[in-house]
Every structure is written in structure tokens, then in C-alpha cells.
Structure 1
């Protein structure tokens, strides 16, 4: 198989040029990255308010948020990623020229007896990339709105999953908290269960809003989700002190404020989407549930593999004692937070590539892949420099413990040096998702996880804290290589 190394150097002199492609990437990536960082910032403010109540309440809320986020993450990533690609393809075909539609119809006819369809010729940039099913025709509805079947499907699936998550978390709150180490005699149990139960009421809004964010990303519109997210998070920050201190609702007030903010985000996005897309009920055939479920299940496998690797690394650090776990937690949160910037580029790459593939514009696909990978590499080196220097001084913002600070200093070189690798891995994910190559993304990630888990067990046992970070570096390197190989 020909591996195009020149993809990193193709038109490299144009990497920062604000031409049509550069403006397209920037207009998608920048708001996406800002929207991704808005919620963690709001959560930090949330944590600061809750911390004023007491340490028990702060710890209880921390455990509850971890449970809620873990349950949400399993379904959020597949739903958003699949929706973005499907909507981008359908929206592009809806506005495609007659020539492009004629080619698409011809290829669908030729592939009618085949389960898979080659997306790009063998001699092109991405080889052996497949699509699962022919796209459904997309047309303008009678009221002038776009008729995008995947948009309606995503909203329906997101709503159902949200309701299921709410019921599950309410009924299983106590067992889940016990599993997380909050036992029946713990003073954290009552406030943790109370917060998790109330917070669960917002699950339908969370999944519905994220499904709609996937739709807007497919339209290459990341500004609308940004505005909605900022409005919701601002509402959360305003309501927090009112409910917690003025109404004296404590952590219940914090949970209620967060739920209200999530429903506000959903209402804003639904209102904007209703203006652009015909969301009236479609036939079962047009809803394409089989296509969503098939690819969503593949990405679910991928999310579980990724989550298990990182969770296992944290578990290995915890087994080495409180000092090791505290240092690992600081390094890990910084390590993960910086990935949000690369995720913005991945979103841009996915949306533009999905559109280019739908139009059979492989030259644009090549140019887009090269540009986002080059920008990802540059971003990675910039982050490496900033973290390598800044974290040496910034570590004291997290703790004053000398032993913890020493271990953080040991982890800093790994956190900094892996930034270019991480950026490439995330951008490669966006490239593969843009090609709707969900099967390869899932299977390759499972293989990477199996190898990484074995390495993690061996190195954490033989080299302790350093071994864990060496294993995580190998894990991200394998992820980046898997994306590059495809």
C-alpha cells in the first residue's frame, strides 16, 4: 500500500494562508474549540461555588459528575460524530450540481449488489475507504427548509438515549456511587446521590443539544453551537450563587442551575435548527436508523476502548498511592484539556472532507487533509513549548505538596512531548470520520487498546509513575500511526 508521506508537505507554504480553504477551516475550528472549552470553564466556576459549601459536598459532587460524564460520554461521541458526517454528506448532495448527482446515482446503481462502496479510487489519497450504504436523496421541502433525514434521525435517537440515561442513573445512582467507592456509611453518599439524581434530569437536554451540535457541524456552522453554549453556561454561572446561597438549596441548587442551563442550550439550538431544517416526522425508511445504529455501534466500541485505556492508567496510578494519583490527575487533566484545541481542527477536517467526498472532489479532500494535518502538527509543537515551560511554574496552582510537585515535574516532559503526537492523532480521527470510515476507526482503536493495555500493565509494574506515562505515550503514538496508515 502506498503511504503518502508528502501529505505533510503538500503546499506546506500555504499552511497559514487565509485563502478559501484556510478561512473555511478557521471559521469551523475556532468556534468549535471555543465551544468545547466553554463547558470546562463553566464547570470550574461551578466547582468554586460548590467548594464554598464544604469539602464533603465538593467531593460528593466530584464523584457524581464523574459518573454522569462517563455515562454520557459513551453515547455522546458516537452520536455527534456519525451525525456530523451524515448531515455534511446529505447537505452537500442536496445542493450538488446535476452532474455530481448523476455520478452519485450511477455509483449507487453499480453498488446496489455490494454491501460496501469505495469512496476514493485506489490511486488517490485515501485508499480502501468505504461507505456503508448509499445516501438517501435530500431535497428542499415545500416551505423552503432543507430536508435532511439524518437531522431528524439524530434528534429522535438523542432524545430516546437521553430519557434512557435519566431513568438508568436515577434507578442505579446508589449502586453506581458504591462502585465508585462511596459506601453506605460515607458522609458523601447522601449529597452525591441527591446531586446525581437531579443532574440526571438534564440528560435528555444534554444528548439532544449534542445531537443538534452534530447537525450544525455537518452544515459547517460551529458558531451557532458556540453562542448557545456560552448563553447556557452564562445562565449556569448566574443561577449558581442564587440557588446555592440566596435560596439556600446547597448542592441541589447547583444541580438545578446546571439542568436549567442545559435545557436553555437545547431550546436555542432547536429554535435555530427549526428555522433551517424540516424536522417533521419522516418515514421509517428515510430515518435511516440502521445506518445510524451500525456506525454508532462501531464508534461505541471505539469510545469504550479509549475510555478503558485512560481509566486503567488512572487506576494504576491510584494503586501506587495518594501522592502518585494526585500528580497523575494534574498531569492527565492538563494533557486532556489541551486536546480540545486539536479537536477543533478535527471537527473542521471532518465536516469539509465529508462534503468533499460527497461531491467527489478528491483534490479538495487531499488539500483539506494536508492543511489540517499541517496545522495540527504546528499546534502540537506550540502546545509542547507552552506546557514544557509553563507547567513547571503553573504546577503550584494545583498543589503545594512537595512530593506531588516532584512527581508532576517527572510527568511534565511526557505531557509536553506528546502534544504533537496527540494533535496528529485527533486530526487523523477527523479525517477518517470525514470519510465515514467508522469501521476502520473502531477496529484499529480496539487493537491499539489491547496492545496499550498490555504495555501499561508491564511498564507500570516495572517503572511505576514513569512507566505509566511511557505507556500513555506509546498509546497515543499507536493511535496516530493507525490514523496515518489508513
Structure 2
């Protein structure tokens, strides 16, 4: 039974337990994604530099294409959680099934585009003559994994909405293990080279999608939910996800602009920027886990028409975001000298990394709150506002970042602009949260 306060409402300790129970498994599942690429890189790297370069190019293209559609997880989580809160599990699962059908349709379209366009995409990415053939081979085979990857995103959203983040963790662990074993066996045992790595990854992705589908189908049969595609439901999922797609594209544009600016600063700057961005992304996984808990919890409270509970959960998660950011920031600040040798031995890059990493450390508490509020508003189904807020952030960030080289700024200045970007996000998300306009109760957001 939930521990209640003297007023009969869930206590802070209850909210804490709920956040932890959802966030910790979510973090494990999030970390598994980059580990796929790390394993592939480690195995293919022993084949030769051209093969590794080809893998890097193809993987970057695939991850960009798939991550753009992360709204399949976010929008589905919010919609399913609302129906769970309203006590309508049948409709909740039906909503999730519509999201999975949308994922299959999008995956089929992307696959149809990727197969013939693979050579042109690799050339556009600037692949060398020696790396390009390997990149095309890996991209064409791995493109077969796009539909199952999108299904995994949508099905993950279903389970998160059902307040289950443990199953995605177990599936991610199984997928990671299968990917490592298959890659090693097919690349070296079967002698397939980089093609073996691609096939191993595709097989692991298909297995993960099958595991998710088995769970969803079992739940649908238990609660009498239809598994047939429904045009109206699929269209509703697409409409709900469109604003989040705009949000994601705007965020991707910010990251691309930052990398383009770093490239203009010089080789040492772009090398250091890549290290900082990698660490920034790793820290984001930890903070995003709390945001995922926020999506599921807020959606459920609003579905149950418990506005007071949603407010209380939001306040508690903001505290979690602040303290998580403080802890992560301190760790980065203290570990800076130890982190440098792990990435490079170049003294010039070291000199650029030290101050830039300090900026990352300082910004972490702000990032913690931003991630939490982002998750809260996603859980509330406030996608249109999130889209406009991110477009406004992009409009502020782009001219300032592009002016850094002209004004004589370096990598540290660029990362202070990244910090400003997080500050703008904090302002826009904070104002929306304080307004209370996101608190729309009901099984379906009107």
C-alpha cells in the first residue's frame, strides 16, 4: 500500500520509491543502446581501419534516422499512462498497438528509402574511397533492422506507460548479449567480415522486437484488446507524435550546429568537442531516466484525474533532477584530470578539454531540472508547447553559436553557449510548468 501523509495523499517517500523503481531500470535500458555500437566497433576494429571507418559512418546515419523517431516511445508512454490512470487497461494496450503499427509503417518507408540511397548517403557523409564500400555494405544490411528498431521504440513506450521499465531492461540485456555473441561468431567464425557484424545486429534487433511483441500480444489477449491495425488510431498516434518530432529535429539541429562550429575552430577543438559531447550524452542518459519516470507517473496521475498528485510528483522529480545534476556535476569536476588520458594523449586537446568539462559540470544541475520538466510535459501530452519551446531555443542558440568563431571565442565559449541553450530551455519549460496549463486531466488529453 502507498505510504500516505497525514492528509491521505501519497508521501514524498512514496514518490521517491516510485521514481527510483521506474528510473533505475530505464537507465539500464538506455545505456544498452550505445553499448551495441561499442561492441560492433570493438569487433570490427580488428578487421582494419577502413572497416572501422565504414562502420562509424553507417552507424551514425542509422542512429540519426532512428533517433529522430524517438517520439514513438515518448508519445506512446504518455497516451498509455493516461489510460492506465483512468483504469482502462484495454484501451491503454489498444493505444500501444496503434503506436506499434505506426512504427512498422514508418520503418517500412525508411527501409525503402535507405536501401537504394545507401551509396549516395555514404558519399554525402564524406566517406573515403577505401571506407565507402564497407559503409555501404553495413548500411544496406543494417537498414533491414530499422523496422524492428522502431517497433522496439514504440513497444518500450507501451511498457513504460504500463509502469513497467523492468521488461525493457531485461530485453535490452538479452539483445546486447545476443548482439555480442552473433557479431563475434559471424565476423570471425563465419568469416563474413563487416557484413557479419551488420547481420548479427539485425538478428539481435529482430529478436528484441519479437520479445516486445510477445509481451504486448499477451497483454492484449488478456484484456481483450484488438491487434488489428486501426487507421483512426494510427493517425491519432502520428498527430500526437508530430510535435515531438519537431522538438527532436530542433534538438538535433542544435547539436549539429555545435559540431559544425567546433569544426571551424580547428582539429584540436573538434576532437575535444567530440569528447565533451560524448560525456554530455552519457550524463544525459542518467538524467533522461528520471524524465522517463516522469512521463509514466505524470500521465498516470492525470489519467486518474489526480491533478494534486501530478503537481506533487512534479515537485518531487524536480528535486531529484536538481540533486542528480549536482552529484553528476561534482563527479565531472573532480574527475576531469582522470578522464583526459582515457580519450587522448594530445596535450593541445587536454588544454581545451579541462575548461570545457568544467562548463559541463557547472551546467549539470540546470540540465537535471530541464530533463525532468521535459519528461513531465511529455507525460502530460503537452507536445505542441514542447515543439514551440525547442524551436525558440534553436532560434536563440543558432546565431550566438555561429558567432563564436567570428568573435574569437574557442571551445569553452561554444560550451558556454550550450549552457545558455539549457538555460533557455529551463526558462521556457519552467514558465509552462508554473502556469499549470499542462495539467489537463482525463484518459485522453482534450
Query: TM-score over 0.5 for the alignment?
Result: yes
Question: Where do residues 220-239 of structure 1 align in structure 2 (5 Å cutoff)?
Answer: 220-239=163-182
- Of residues 51, 54, 57, the one that matches 2:48 is 54
Question: Where do residues 201-240 of structure 1 align in structure 2 (5 Å cutoff)?
Answer: 201-240=144-183
- Of residues 111, 118, 123, the one that matches 1:178 is 123
TM-superposed CA distance for 1:256, in Å, is 0.7
1:479 corresponds in structure 2 to 425
2:437 corresponds in structure 1 to none
Pairing 1:470–2:416 present: yes
- Of residues 86, 92, 99, the one that matches 2:79 is 86
- Asked if 2 retains the 8 angstrom alpha-carbon contact of 1:149 and 1:282, the reply is no
1:415-458: per-residue Cα shift (whole Å, max 9, x none)?
21111111111111011111111111000110111111011112
- Asked if 1 retains the 8 angstrom alpha-carbon contact of 2:37 and 2:59, the reply is no
1:357 corresponds in structure 2 to 302
Pick closer, same or farther for the CA change 1:241–1:19 going to 2, 3 Å.
same
1:280 corresponds in structure 2 to 226
2:436 corresponds in structure 1 to none
Query: 1-side partners of 2:89 and 2:53: how far apart?
Result: 52
1:84-112: per-residue Cα shift (whole Å, max 9, x none)?
0111112222x2xxxxxxxxxxxxxxxxx
1:420 corresponds in structure 2 to 365
TM-superposed CA distance for 1:18, in Å, is 7.8
Greater displacement, 355-364 / 460-469: 460-469
Q: Report the secondary structure of 2:312's partner residue.
A: helix
RMSD of aligned alpha carbons: 1.7
- Asked if 1 retains the 8 angstrom alpha-carbon contact of 2:94 and 2:220, the reply is no
Query: 1-side partners of 2:319 and 2:191: how far apart?
Result: 52
- Asked if 1 retains the 8 angstrom alpha-carbon contact of 2:250 and 2:391, the reply is yes
1:199 corresponds in structure 2 to 142
Question: Where do residues 263-278 of structure 1 align in structure 2 (5 Å cutoff)?
Answer: 263-278=206-221
Question: Where do residues 24-35 of structure 1 align in structure 2 (5 Å cutoff)?
Answer: 24-35=18-29
TM-superposed CA distance for 1:282, in Å, is 5.0
- Asked if 2 retains the 8 angstrom alpha-carbon contact of 1:460 and 1:467, the reply is no
Query: 1-side partners of 2:175 and 2:226: how far apart?
Result: 26
Query: 1-side partners of 2:277 and 2:374: how far apart?
Result: 20
Question: Where do residues 396-411 of structure 1 align in structure 2 (5 Å cutoff)?
Answer: 396-411=341-356
2:17 corresponds in structure 1 to 23
TM-superposed CA distance for 1:203, in Å, is 0.6
- Of residues 89, 94, 106, the one that matches 1:149 is 94
1:308 corresponds in structure 2 to 253
Query: 2-side partners of 1:58 and 1:349: how far apart?
Result: 38
TM-superposed CA distance for 1:42, in Å, is 3.3
Query: 1-side partners of 2:170 and 2:404: how far apart?
Result: 44
Query: 2-side partners of 1:293 and 1:201: how far apart?
Result: 22
2:284 corresponds in structure 1 to 339
Higher helix proportion: 2
- Of residues 38, 41, 46, the one that matches 2:35 is 41
1:239-288: per-residue Cα shift (whole Å, max 9, x none)?
12111111111111111111111111111111112111245345747x42
Query: 1-side partners of 2:240 and 2:218: how far apart?
Result: 28
1:7-42: per-residue Cα shift (whole Å, max 9, x none)?
xxxx9xxxxx88332221111111001100122223
Pairing 1:66–2:9 present: no
Q: Report the secondary structure of 2:334's partner residue.
A: helix
Question: Where do residues 117-132 of structure 1 align in structure 2 (5 Å cutoff)?
Answer: none
Structure 1 residues not aligned, in runs of 5+: 1-10, 12-16, 96-137, 141-145
Q: If the length of structure 1 is used for normalisation, what is the TM-score? A: 0.83
Pairing 1:436–2:430 present: no
Query: 1-side partners of 2:43 and 2:366: how far apart?
Result: 36
TM-superposed CA distance for 1:46, in Å, is 2.1
Pick closer, same or farther for the CA change 1:215–1:350 going to 2, 3 Å.
same
TM-superposed CA distance for 1:214, in Å, is 0.3
- Asked if 2 retains the 8 angstrom alpha-carbon contact of 1:460 and 1:466, the reply is no
Query: 2-side partners of 1:415 and 1:460: how far apart?
Result: 20
Query: 2-side partners of 1:476 and 1:310: how far apart?
Result: 12
- Asked if 1 retains the 8 angstrom alpha-carbon contact of 2:258 and 2:414, the reply is yes
Pairs aligned (count): 419
Query: 1-side partners of 2:227 and 2:345: how far apart?
Result: 58
